[in-house]
């Protein structure tokens, strides 16, 4: 992977940031109704511009790294596009929610975009300090969004739990980054892995991974998610489940690929691309055995606990929270290391993640449109008949739920198929069978939700008013959820489909380092 200039690499992020600043600067000068009429559209225009700029990054030489601190490759490009699309869906749902609730301010639109900026930087980060800054930009913005409804006890409870535990695990992450730097002298993932061989380095890496596992809501670090998801507006629930998860899993993937590549002595310079295909050496298979077992065990726990906990939920937001835990588990299982001599690629994870993020943001925006003032009817009984009252939202929500359950022809079906196929190919066929059984269990509560929205209208039927932005965003997400199944090669085998991926392809016979020529090292004081 070659070095690139600042502007082509970060232009999409800068556009989203500029949009957030424009929205925040305009908010004091608009009347209450005008805030909800204009600010979401300003944000949407900037997000669309950022999406176009992201798609044009390869044409302007933006695929590469910036001194090893940030990197952009084909996988990251798709993940950033998923963040932009999910943010657009969240803004559309938030517009309808805030206008319906007569919310006085317009700052939630800016906070949503600031969180998206942080998530995009998390996805691009290849350095522990830049990742920490990006992680905190996302977290602080999401904390405020969770606590928007300060007059509701569940909102305050969700905010308190999320903030306190988030602060604790941010400190754990930072302590891990400090141990890593103290033992190696480097903050960049690849160079730190090169210099790290002792117990202090491995402890630091473990603490960093634990901090990220909290952010993505993996068991046993998931205990904040049901309350935070329930306390937040429905549109923000979808935003948290999509955007924060994309950034966290992308960062976890970058660290994991470098550990496998360097520990196994198959690529002494580390890797910068998430689309890398890393040859597995004997040293990696043995040296990372405990780490792999931890990730696999937590993945299995997440799949089991998430699915079984969701079975008994009547609140849709709590159901989605536990469902999110289960989906995190499926993706963690794909981090399994194959046999010595084979290659590790996380393409299945990236495809799964893109499809899941878009479906989650779209689903919760549709629920926000149907759940009534302050999302009071977000229960299975409260949503009874809402598909009939609002067919556009009902049909879109059915597509999103089908994707969650892994029903063809949706992106969720192909994502699960790729993850399970990878597990079988790596020799973890018992784990694959268990995951398939849990997917069937998960289909049960998804079916309950589909039956509820198409059942006879209940007493509290909510007829949603027209919302152009919301309807277009939800319809676009539903179409993308189906169309994505036609492009598995864009992410699943990115290491052989694009030059950036080829440059990070790792093998024993090609020792040329792809890590940054300028290490992200902080000189000792």
Name the more confident of 390 and 488.
Answer: 390
Q: DSSP states of 151-164 as a string?
A: TSHHHHHHHHHHHH
- CA-nearest of 197, 169, 172, 168 to 185 is 197
The C-alpha angle 230, 236, 240, rounded to 5 degrees, equals 90
Question: Mean pLDDT throughout 462-482?
Answer: 81
- Residue pair 115/243 in contact by the 8 Å Cβ criterion: yes
Residue 494 has pLDDT above 70, yes or no: no
pLDDT value of position 196: 66
Which ranges of 185-244 would DSSP assign to H, the alpha helix? Answer: 189-195, 199-216, 225-231, 234-239
Return mean pLDDT, the chain. Answer: 84
Note the pLDDT tens digit of each residue in 27-53: 888 887 888 888 999 999 999 999 999
The rounded radius of gyration (Å) of the Cα atoms in the chain is 22
In a domain, 143, yes or no: yes
- Among residues 320, 444, 445, 315, which one has the least CA distance to residue 383? 315
Question: Span 206-215, mean pLDDT?
Answer: 94
- CA–CA distance, 419 with 332 (Å, rounded to integer): 10
359 in a structural domain? yes
Identify the domain containing residue 452 by its residue range: 6-498
By mean pLDDT, which of 1-15, 131-145, 204-218 is the weakest?
1-15
Lowest mean pLDDT among 195-199, 212-216, 243-247: 195-199
Compute φ and ψ for 466, nearest 5 degrees: -65, 135
Q: What is the mean pLDDT of residues 481-499?
A: 64
Please name every residue paired with 265 in a beta bridge, in sequence order, or none if there are none. none
Region 459-469: mean pLDDT is 61
Domain assignment present for 519? no
Higher pLDDT, 421 or 290: 421
- Identify the band that residue 1 occupies on the pLDDT scale cut at 50, 70 and 90: low
5-14 per-position pLDDT tens digit: 678 888 999 9
**pLDDT tens figures, 96-124:** 888 887 788 889 999 999 999 999 999 99
**Position 522 pLDDT exceeds 80:** no
Task: Answer yes or no: is pLDDT of 434 > 90.
Answer: yes
Residue 457, pLDDT score: 65
Domain annotation covers residue 183: yes
Confidence of residue 524 (pLDDT cuts 50, 70, 90): very low
Split at pLDDT 50, 70, 90, the class of 459 is low
Q: Is 271 left (phi over 0), alpha (psi -120 to 50) or beta?
A: beta
343, 278 Cβ separation under 8 angstroms: yes
At 511, give phi and psi (nearest 5°). -80, 0
DSSP for 399-456, written as a single string: HHHHHHHT-TTSHHHHHHHHHHHHHHHTT-HHHHHHHHHHHHHHHHHHHHHHHHHTSS
pTM: 0.90
- Residue 289 contacts by C-beta under 8 Å, 6 or more apart in sequence? none
Is 516 part of a structural domain of the chain? Answer: no
Contact 187, 128 (CB under 8 A): yes
Residue 508 lies in a domain: no
| 222 φ/ψ angles, rounded to the nearest 5 degrees | -100, 0
Q: Are 399 and 482 in contact (CB under 8 A)?
A: yes
> Is 525's pLDDT higher than 70?
no
**Pair 352, 416: CB distance under 8 Å:** yes
User: For residue 218, what are the CA distances in angstroms to 284, 323, 333, 346, 350?
Assistant: 24, 11, 12, 18, 17
Domain assignment present for residue 383? The answer is yes
Tokens coding 448: 């309950």
Torsional class of 3: left (φ above 0), alpha (ψ -120 to 50), beta (otherwise): beta
288 domain residue, yes or no: yes
Rounded (5°) CA angle 43-98-475: 60
Domain count, the chain: 1
Nearest one of 384, 416, 424 to 485, comparing CA atoms? 416
pLDDT at 194: 80
First to last CA, the chain: 31
């Amino acid at each position: 992977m070659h070095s690139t200039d600042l502007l082509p690499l970060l232009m999409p992020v800068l556009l989203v940031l500029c949009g957030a600043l424009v929205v925040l600067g305009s908010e004091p000068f608009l009347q209450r109704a005008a805030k909800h009429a204009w600010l979401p559209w300003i944000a949407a225009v900037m997000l669309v511009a950022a999406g176009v700029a992201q798609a044009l990054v390869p044409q302007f030489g933006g695929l590469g790294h910036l001194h090893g601190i940030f990197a952009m490759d084909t996988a990251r490009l798709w993940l950033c596009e998923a963040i932009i699309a999910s943010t657009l869906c969240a803004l559309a749902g938030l517009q309808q929610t805030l206008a319906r609730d007569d919310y006085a301010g317009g700052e939630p639109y800016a906070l949503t975009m600031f969180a998206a900026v942080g998530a995009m930087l998390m996805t691009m980060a290849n350095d522990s300090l830049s990742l920490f800054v990006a992680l905190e930009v996302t977290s602080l913005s999401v904390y405020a969004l969770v606590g928007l409804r300060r007059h509701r006890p569940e909102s305050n409870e969700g905010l308190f739990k999320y903030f306190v535990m988030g602060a604790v695990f941010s400190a754990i992450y930072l302590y891990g980054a400090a141990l890593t730097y103290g033992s190696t002298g480097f903050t960049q993932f690849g160079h730190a892995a090169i210099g790290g061989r002792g117990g202090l380095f491995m402890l630091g890496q473990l603490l960093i991974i634990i901090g990220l596992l909290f952010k993505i809501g993996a068991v046993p670090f998931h205990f904040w998610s049901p309350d935070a998801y329930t306390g937040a507006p429905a549109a923000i629930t979808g935003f948290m489940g999509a955007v924060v998860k994309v950034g966290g899993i992308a960062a976890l993937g970058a660290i994991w690929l470098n550990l496998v590549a360097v520990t196994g002595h198959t690529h002494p310079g580390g890797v910068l691309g998430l689309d890398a295909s890393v040859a597995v050496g004997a040293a990696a298979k043995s040296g990372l055995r405990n780490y792999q077992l931890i990730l696999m065990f937590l993945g299995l726990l997440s799949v089991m606990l998430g699915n079984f906990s969701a079975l008994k939920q009547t609140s849709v937001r709590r159901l989605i929270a536990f469902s999110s835990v289960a989906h995190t588990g499926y993706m963690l299982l794909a981090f399994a290391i194959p046999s010595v001599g084979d290659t590790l690629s996380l393409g299945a994870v990236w495809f799964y993640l893109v499809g899941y993020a878009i479906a989650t943001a779209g689903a919760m925006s549709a629920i926000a449109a149907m759940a009534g003032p302050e999302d009071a009817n977000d229960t299975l009984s409260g949503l009874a008949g809402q598909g009939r009252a609002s067919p556009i939202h009902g049909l879109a929500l059915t597509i999103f739920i089908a994707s969650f359950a892994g029903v063809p022809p949706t992106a969720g079906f192909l994502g699960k198929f790729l993850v399970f196929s990878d597990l079988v190919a790596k020799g973890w066929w018992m784990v694959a069978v268990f995951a398939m059984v849990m997917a069937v269990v998960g289909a049960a509560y998804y079916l309950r939700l589909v039956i509820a929205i198409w059942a006879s209208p209940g007493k509290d039927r909510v007829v949603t008013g027209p919302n152009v932005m919301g309807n277009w965003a939800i319809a676009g997400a539903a179409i993308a959820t189906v169309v994505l199944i036609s492009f598995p090669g864009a992410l699943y085998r990115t290491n052989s489909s694009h030059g950036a991926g080829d440059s990070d392809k790792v093998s024993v016979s090609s020792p040329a380092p792809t890590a940054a020529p300028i290490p992200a090292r902080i000189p000792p004081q």
